[in-house]
Every structure is written in C-alpha cells, then in structure tokens.
Amino acid sequence: MEPAQLRAVELRRIALDLVTPFRTSFGTQTDRDVLLVHVTTDDGDGWGECVAGDDPLYSSEYTEAAQHVIRAHLLPRLFAHRGARVAAHEVAVALDPVKGHRMAKAALECAVLDAELRSQGRSVAEHLGAVRERVPSGVSVGIVGSIAELIDVVGGYLDAGYVRIKLKIEPGWDVEPVRAVRAEFGDALPLQVDANAAYRRGDARHLAQLDEAGLLLIEQPLPEDDLLGHAELATRIATPVCLDESITSARAAADAIALGACSIVNVKAGRVGGYLEARRVHDVCAAHGVPVWCGGMLETGIGRAMNAALAALPGFTLTGDISASTRFWTRDIVTEPMQVVDGHVPVPTGPGTGVELDESFVDSVTTSTETVTAAAR
Ligand code: SMG
Ligand code: MG
C-alpha cells in the first residue's frame, strides 16, 4: 500500500510545571518546555513528543535546537522524499544524512508512525511486537536535601505502589543515601542508581563501596563517550554497569556489549533516534542475552504511552522508569493520563499511540505554534 502523503507539520511548544523539582547530577528541573510534533497526512494525523530538555545538559540536544533542526533540515528532507509519501519505517532513512539530532528525529518519526497506525487501526504495541498487557512501574527519585527527606520521598513512592526505586546519585550523594534507603526498606527492595555521567575513571574504588548494597545496577557512571572507562570499571565493581547516555544506536549497543562496557542497557527511543531503532537496540541486546529496560525523559502522556508499548517487548525483563503521570504532572495533556495499578502501567491498545490529546488543555499551555508545509519551504 502506498504511504499517505504528508501535508503539514505543526511544531507546538507547551509549558508544563513539574509537581516537584527534579534534581540530577547535572541540574535541577522545575518545568518542561516540550516540543510536540503534529503531522497531518491525506490519511489522518498523528502526534509525537520530543524528549529534549530545555538545556543541553543530559545530552547535546535541547528543545530550541530540536525545533530548528526539524524546521530547517529534517522537514525539507521528509517533504522531498518520494513526493512526501513517507512510511514510518522510511523516516530514519530519509533523515539519515543529518548527523545526530536523534531526539528531534524520533519525535518526527513518532508522529508519522502514529498517523500511519491510526489510519490502519493498529496499535504501536502490536506494531512493535509487544507481548504484555501491562508492565511493572519503577520510579526515578531525584537528589534531595537530606537523608530524612529521601527516606520520606521513597516511602511515599512505595506506598503509591512503585515496584522498583532508582536513586539519582552524584559525588557527595551516593554511598550514604543508598545505605540509608537499603537499611530503611530492607534487602528485598529492588534498588538501582543513576549517576548521569557524574564520575570519572579514578572513582572506581569509591563506587565499589556501593557493592554492599546489592543494587540491581549502576546507570551511566562515566561520561557518554567513555566506553573503555566503563569496561574497566565493570571489572572493578560488583554492581552491574548499565549504560544510558552512551547508547545512541543499536550499533553502539552492540559495541558496548562487545567491549564489556555494560551488562544491562537502558533503552530510550529519543536517545537512539526513534522507536524503530529502539526496537533494534532491544533486538541486539536480546541476541546477546543482555537485559534491557525502558528509560524515561519526563514524558507527557504521549511519550509515556509509547514507552509502555516499547517496554512490553519480550527482552524488557527489568522494570523501567515508566511512572504514573502524577509523578511529574498535576495535569497531563492526554484525556486518560497513565496510572499505576497494582504496581503496573497498562500497555495502550488503541490505534497509534492509543492516547487522545486533551485539546483545550493543550491550547491553554501552548507557548508557540509554527506550521511547516511542503509549499511553504
Ligand atoms: O521520566 O521517569 C522519568 C525520568 C527518569 O531519571 C530519569 N531520567 O538519565 O535516566 C535518566 C533521566 C534523564 C532525564 S533527567 C532530565
Ligand atoms: Mg539515566
């Protein structure tokens, strides 16, 4: 079947406040400036969400740059591709000449995929090969002011039903808080940490002190481009090393595994350029017997629904960072925000992303709208 023709792409920026500040080793976030991508085709429309942050601190991408690269470099290529008749699986191919900018590419691919699957009445979960109807829900806990406050926050999340806790760490906030959480909640609590690249090769001896806590994993201790450092660290600590920022593609995952730089992989569609590449990361890891789990980027309801579908693939054997919408938002942009029931989130079954936008709310939080059409270029 001939793919639908792309008519127009709306780039919409919305401003959402976080329910509580989220502090990581690279900074404190209190709100999100989200870029939504809305494609209109002659066969219907679709939405995607760009996970880039306001500032280039998690990775080199940031919202303003994502909007620029979509407008100036990605859309011209998409509109020029076969008379703008683009199947979702061709988006990455059409955009491949543009280096990097994976979060921007992923948002565009998601919108095209949503439109395509909606027109076919198929869900993303079905399309990706999901094998589960619900997935366990973990929560990422930011750095806070004191150990007492941390115990309070973690206790609250456990009461809310989250089945796995991830603590954000940085030099000065690592061994002690981990020890305290372990002591308070017991050995059975599934616990892991995420450093967002805050340590250096010389910190191996220090990080080995986390071994006694019996963590599931330590995520991205070293810089994004330090695969050899991670491989060396993995031989010096007992905690399994998991990579997040370093894994930018399926090939990067294969390389990291071959080098011994990680034994677990965090999969984020935005970081690898789209949900289709994310599935390939899953496939490569599965072929090597490396477990994967789905990461989070403080998504709205669109990204949350997509992540739940991805996490329903068979190789996602570890609990991901897919929390309830209320973990970050007082009000979400979709009509049925994601909820945690019995420690799990549901895998959407409706066409496309399976979620519908709360349009009047989206309008009320919109800060700018720009529409790009084939003719307007
Ligand atoms: O969406 O639940 C979420 C956030 C999970 O900690 C989380 N994400 O490095 O894994 C990570 C961070 C990246 C986002 S920090 C702005
Ligand atoms: Mg991470």
**CA-to-CA distance for 311 and 135, rounded, in angstroms?**
7
Give residue 298 CA to ligand 1 midpoint distance, Å: 6
**CA-to-CA distance for 53 and 61, rounded, in angstroms?**
7
Give residue 59 CA to ligand 1 midpoint distance, Å: 12
pLDDT in tens, 303-351: 999 999 999 999 999 999 999 999 999 999 999 999 999 999 999 999 9
pTM greater than the 0.95 cutoff: yes
Out of 33, 140, 266, 304, mutate this one to test ligand 1's pocket (max ligand atoms within 8 Å of CB): namely 140
Q: Closest ligand 1 atom, CA of 142?
A: 6
Out of 310, 321, 345, mutate this one to test ligand 1's pocket (max ligand atoms within 8 Å of CB): namely 321
Residue 374 pLDDT = 83
pLDDT in tens, 274-287: 999 999 999 999 99
Residue 375 pLDDT = 66
pLDDT in tens, 49-98: 999 999 999 999 999 999 999 999 999 999 999 999 999 999 999 999 99
Q: Concatenated DSSP letters for 76-138?
A: HHHHHGGGGB--HHHHHHHHTTS-S-HHHHHHHHHHHHHHHHHHHT-BHHHHHT---SEEEBE
**CA-to-CA distance for 267 and 17, rounded, in angstroms?**
25
Q: Closest ligand 1 atom, CA of 295?
A: 10
Average predicted confidence (pLDDT) for the chain: 97
Asked whether residue 246 carries a pLDDT value surpassing 70, the answer given is yes
CB 65 within 8 A of CB 13: no
Q: Concatenated DSSP letters for 6-42?
A: EEEEEEEEEEEEEEEEEEETTEEEEEEEEEEEEEEET
pLDDT in tens, 176-223: 999 999 999 999 999 999 999 999 999 999 999 999 999 999 999 999
Other C-beta atoms lying within 10 Å of the C-beta of residue 57: 14
With a 6 Å cutoff on the Cβ, whether 137 touches ligand 1 is: no
Give residue 160 CA to ligand 2 midpoint distance, Å: 22
pLDDT in tens, 249-270: 999 999 999 999 999 999 999 9
Which residues, listed in sequence order, are joined to residue 5 by a DSSP beta bridge? 85
**CA-to-CA distance for 356 and 354, rounded, in angstroms?**
7
- Identify residues whose C-beta is under 5 A from ligand 2, the ion: 194, 219, 244
Q: Which two tokens stand for residue 352?
A: 């496309």
Is 99 in the active site? no
Give residue 47 CA to ligand 2 midpoint distance, Å: 25
Mean pLDDT for the stretch of residues 165-180: 98
Residue 1 pLDDT = 77
pLDDT-derived band at 376 (thresholds 50, 70, 90) equals: low
Residue 304 pLDDT = 98
**CA-to-CA distance for 210 and 10, rounded, in angstroms?**
47
With a 6 Å cutoff on the Cβ, whether 307 touches ligand 1 is: no
Asked whether residue 377 carries a pLDDT value surpassing 60, the answer given is no
Residue 95 pLDDT = 98
The alpha carbon of 220 is separated from its chain's Cα centroid by a whole number of angstroms, namely 14
Q: Which residue's CA lies nearest to atom 9 of ligand 1?
A: 196
Is 166 in the active site? no
